[in-house]
Amino acid sequence: MSSAAFLTLGCKLNYAETSTYRRGLVAAGWHVVDWRSKADLYIINTCTVTATSDSKSRNLVRKVGRVNPSADILVTGCSAALRPGDYSGMPGVRRVFGPGEKSRVVPFAIALHGGAAPAAEQEGPVFGAFSSGERTRSFLKVQDGCDNFCKYCTVPYARGRSRSLSVQECVGAAREIASLGMKEIVLTGVNTGDYGRGGPDGFMDLLRSLNAVEGIERYRISSIEPNLLTEDTVAWIASGTKFLPHFHIPLQSGCDRILAAMGRRYDTAFFGGRLDMVRKYMEKPGGLKVFFGIDVMAGLPGETDADFAESLEFIRRIRPAFIHAFPYSRRPGTPAASMKGQVDEEVKRERVRALEELSAELNADFTEANRGLKAKVLWEACHPDGTMSGYTENYIRAYAGSNPALVGEITDYEI
């Protein structure tokens, strides 16, 4: 029996894809081991969102080669897609897979180790994937790629143009997830709300079909651009569906001048209006508040101290529950890389710290605003300290005394 180890950097899409590779090899009789255990084969899923991510990806491949010089290494993911030559000559690397070759990873691994590899299916519009490493929640990939070409971003080059799985494929994956005993699905993609672009089915067709899948009791929507979070969608979600009051929406900057310079397709007034609209439909007297997570990039080219102060003030005004803050990273080949006004690295770090402090403050305020409200918690795990934890519908972490029988169950809870 051949053994395999998996290492993943980057986003939830990468984790969903790695989990799918893993299931494919396990179904073929492979044994999964920790990467330090000198596996016969390593699949490394790389990330390129920042220069640090690229460096970590390359270092990880080199490290695996040192841990087990006789192993076969397969490299996939965004860094490999953009810079295949960085990896193809490394010791142990047998193949680097591009963005349109992900369905070939498992057949190639099996054939490499002398097995009867299944014929690689023709790659569809998007490689279908979902995560299955957790007992209660799965990340289901419904969309990939992006057509926005924001001036700082490499995603359209690494993952290609926007494309989607069919509704039937997504529903089939959701049913498989339900058969594994998981009750919650997070819909994920590069830009989830762009689902169905150019195809016969739109985002609402997907949501309605998934809502009918038996065994799945909760859905969350991640990575949706504000211009794609429409009033019709929100009104339907609020009408009594399985979709929860939790959205992750990229902002990137709370300064209109910077948003325009980076090619974002909205301004702060529009973004704030989207959040107000969602709250109007989904927040009822005595009911849970909506959890908004936002992405904010510190130190985009041309961002002055005044621009950053304006951004902080806007974020305070719209009151998200969480800020995913990270420094702008100069990516070769993007328009932003050659723009004037590049921000000093230490200034970027200081701005990230300020955003993280604001995030902690806003998250505490959000939790307090929900204090005493009735919620339902999907219990995820028991802990050595005698507690168990899970999440409310609006993504507040909840704790109770340990009860293993409740892991994977949903119960009432007072925040």
**Per-chain mean pLDDT for the chain:** 95
Give me the mean pLDDT over the 306-330 stretch.
97
Instruction: Tell whether the model's pLDDT for residue 359 goes beyond 70.
Output: yes
Kindly list the strands in the beta sheet with 387-391, ordered across the sheet, starting from the edge strand earlier in the chain.
Answer: 397-401, 387-391, 374-382, 410-414
> What's the confidence (pLDDT) of residue 122?
55
> What's the confidence (pLDDT) of residue 294?
98
> What proportion of the chain, given as a percentage, has pLDDT over 70?
98
Could you tell me which residue, 37 or 42, shows the higher pLDDT? 42
Between 26-40, 241-255, 301-315, the lowest mean confidence (pLDDT) is in: 26-40
Query: Residue 35: which of 10, 9, 54 has the closest Cα?
Result: 9
Query: Residue 155: which of 89, 258, 250, 63 has the closest Cα?
Result: 250
Task: Please spell the DSSP secondary structure of 131-184, one letter per residue.
Answer: --SSSSEEEEE-EE--S---TT--HHHHH-S-EE--HHHHHHHHHHHHHTT--E
> What's the confidence (pLDDT) of residue 156?
92
> What's the confidence (pLDDT) of residue 120?
53
> What proportion of the chain, given as a percentage, has pLDDT over 90?
92
Separation in Å, CA 273 to CA 174, 232, 238: 32, 15, 17
> What's the confidence (pLDDT) of residue 121?
56
Instruction: Tell whether the model's pLDDT for residue 24 goes beyond 90.
Output: yes
> What's the confidence (pLDDT) of residue 133?
79
Q: pLDDT band at 119, cuts 50/70/90?
A: low
- Give 169-227 pLDDT, tens digit per residue: 999 999 999 999 999 999 999 999 999 987 889 999 999 999 999 999 999 999 999 99
Separation of alpha carbons 388 and 374, rounded Å: 18
> What's the confidence (pLDDT) of residue 171?
98
Instruction: Tell whether the model's pLDDT for residue 285 goes beyond 90.
Output: yes
Give me the mean pLDDT over the 274-284 stretch.
98
The burial class, CB within 10 Å (0-12 / 13-18 / 19+), for 151 is middle
Give me the mean pLDDT over the 229-245 stretch.
97
Q: pLDDT band at 114, cuts 50/70/90?
A: confident
Separation of alpha carbons 194 and 230, rounded Å: 11
> What's the confidence (pLDDT) of residue 402?
97
Q: Which pTM does this prediction carry?
A: 0.94
- Give 326-358 pLDDT, tens digit per residue: 999 999 999 999 999 999 999 999 999 999 999
> What's the confidence (pLDDT) of residue 265?
94
Q: pLDDT band at 37, cuts 50/70/90?
A: confident
> What's the confidence (pLDDT) of residue 118?
63
Q: pLDDT band at 117, cuts 50/70/90?
A: low
> What's the confidence (pLDDT) of residue 126?
87
